[in-house]
């Protein structure tokens, strides 16, 4: 890939403050962009207002600045892109790929969508959400860290929702539209989103959009082995000294830095030594009982 043609991004949702797992994703995506001489963008995925935490988006951006993680272009707020998301829905509908679904979550069995409304709404029912018809053939791609991936959408999730019952466009569609619009060439993010990637690759193909490369980083877990997440109340990064937290994030990604130096020196070392081939597939615990960032190899 020619230098300068690479575009990466970090796209947090404003549903809570930046935690260590989010920092790992930001650091990995930033260093991968710098290693390719490319752009690094930040996009706030404010797609789900009912779940947003007031002020979290601003605090996330403040924390990124505190870590010297400055995007190369103006931050994009995904909520401003709804017209483009709706246009993508129209394109899918014109291709005959969408159908209305009347099912509530309580009515659906565990596992993939059983196709209840695929051939038409049940008598007396009104459509609530819009689902997209998935193919029977598996979606295949090679991830930069996790390796070859092959998944049958029909077997793993079935026809999935692209516009929710509350009228909001689903994440799977919005992220595809906006990554293409911003010219993203590689998506570096946590492995918790690996299962979403086949759905996004399918939508890219259905919409005639380019498919970027993917690199899914290992998940940061607490001492009990649970994925760090906002829903679990993971410690916000703002409670950690930036130098220590960055060092722990780099070590977690297989790049343990020297113990000396300030934040600028640590970034300089990271840019010089970054190699995605050294990133492990799985990560270990990163928090001790005192809540401080530590590194424990997987």
Query: What percent of the chain has a predicted confidence (pLDDT) above 90?
Result: 81
Q: Please give the biggest Cα pair distance in the chain.
A: 70
**For residue 284, what pLDDT is reported?**
62
From residue 164, alpha-carbon distances to 73, 168, 199, 291 in Å are 31, 5, 16, 37
The better pLDDT of the pair 47, 238 is held by: 47
Residues 6 or more apart whose Cβ sits within 8 Å of residue 222: 228, 232, 234, 285, 286, 287
Mean per-residue pLDDT, 38-58: 96
**For residue 215, what pLDDT is reported?**
98
205: buried, middle or exposed (CB in 10 Å: 19+, 13-18, 0-12)? middle
Q: What is the DSSP string of 119-139?
A: TSPPTT----EEEEPPPSSPE
pLDDT at 4 over 60: no
User: 7-81+179-278 adopts what CATH topology?
Assistant: Rossmann fold (3.40.50)
**For residue 286, what pLDDT is reported?**
57
Look at 110-114, 185-189, 233-237 and tell me which has the smallest mean pLDDT: 233-237
The better pLDDT of the pair 290, 179 is held by: 179
**For residue 20, what pLDDT is reported?**
85
Reported as type and span, the H/E element at residue 264 is: helix 263-273
CA–CA distance, 92 with 112 (Å, rounded to integer)? 21
| Dihedral sign, Cα of residue 255, residue 231, residue 74, residue 59 | negative
Reported as type and span, the H/E element at residue 25 is: helix 20-35
Residues 6 or more apart whose Cβ sits within 8 Å of residue 258: 269
Mean per-residue pLDDT, 60-72: 96
Partners of 140 in the β-ladder: 150
| Degrees to nearest 5, angle at CA 143 with 5 and 229 | 100
Q: Which of 230, 247, 252, 279 is catalytic?
A: 230
Whether 227 is a known active-site residue: answer no
CA–CA distance, 114 with 154 (Å, rounded to integer)? 9
Q: Which CATH architecture has domain 96-172?
A: 3-Layer(aba) Sandwich (3.40)
CA–CA distance, 110 with 260 (Å, rounded to integer)? 52
Mean per-residue pLDDT, 13-39: 94
Give the domain ranges of the chain: 7-81+179-278, 96-172
The answer to whether 7-81+179-278 and 96-172 have equal CATH topology is yes
Mean per-residue pLDDT, 128-148: 96
Give me 165's structure tokens.
Answer: 């019952």
* Residue range 93-104, pLDDT digits in tens: 999 999 999 999
């Amino acid at each position: 890939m020619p230098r300068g043609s690479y575009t990466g991004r970090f796209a947090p949702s404003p549903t809570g403050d930046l935690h260590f797992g989010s920092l790992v994703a930001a650091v990995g995506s930033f260093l991968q962009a710098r290693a390719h001489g490319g752009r690094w963008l930040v996009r706030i995925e404010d797609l789900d207002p009912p779940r947003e935490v007031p002020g979290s988006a601003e605090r996330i951006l403040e924390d990124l600045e505190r870590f010297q993680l400055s995007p190369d272009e103006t931050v994009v707020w995904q909520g401003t892109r709804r017209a483009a998301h709706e246009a993508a829905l129209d394109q899918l509908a014109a291709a005959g790929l969408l159908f209305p679904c009347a099912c509530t979550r309580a009515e659906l069995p565990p596992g993939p969508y059983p196709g209840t409304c695929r051939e038409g709404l049940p008598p007396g029912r009104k459509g609530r959400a819009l689902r997209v018809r998935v193919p029977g053939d598996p979606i295949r791609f090679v991830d930069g860290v996790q390796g070859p991936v092959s998944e049958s959408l029909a077997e793993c999730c079935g026809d999935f929702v692209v516009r929710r019952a509350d009228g909001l466009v689903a994440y799977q569609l919005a992220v595809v539209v906006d990554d293409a619009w911003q010219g993203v060439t590689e998506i570096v993010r946590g492995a918790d989103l690996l299962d979403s990637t086949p759905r996004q690759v399918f939508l890219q193909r259905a919409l005639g959009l380019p498919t970027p490369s993917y690199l899914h980083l290992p998940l940061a877990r607490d001492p009990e082995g649970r994925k760090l997440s906002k829903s679990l109340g993971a410690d916000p990064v703002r409670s950690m000294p930036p130098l220590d937290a960055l060092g722990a994030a780099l070590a977690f990604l297989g790049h343990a830095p020297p113990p000396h130096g300030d934040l600028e020196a640590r970034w300089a070392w990271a840019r010089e030594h970054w190699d995605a081939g050294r990133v492990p597939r799985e990560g270990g615990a990163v928090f001790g009982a005192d809540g401080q960032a530590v590194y424990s190899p997987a």
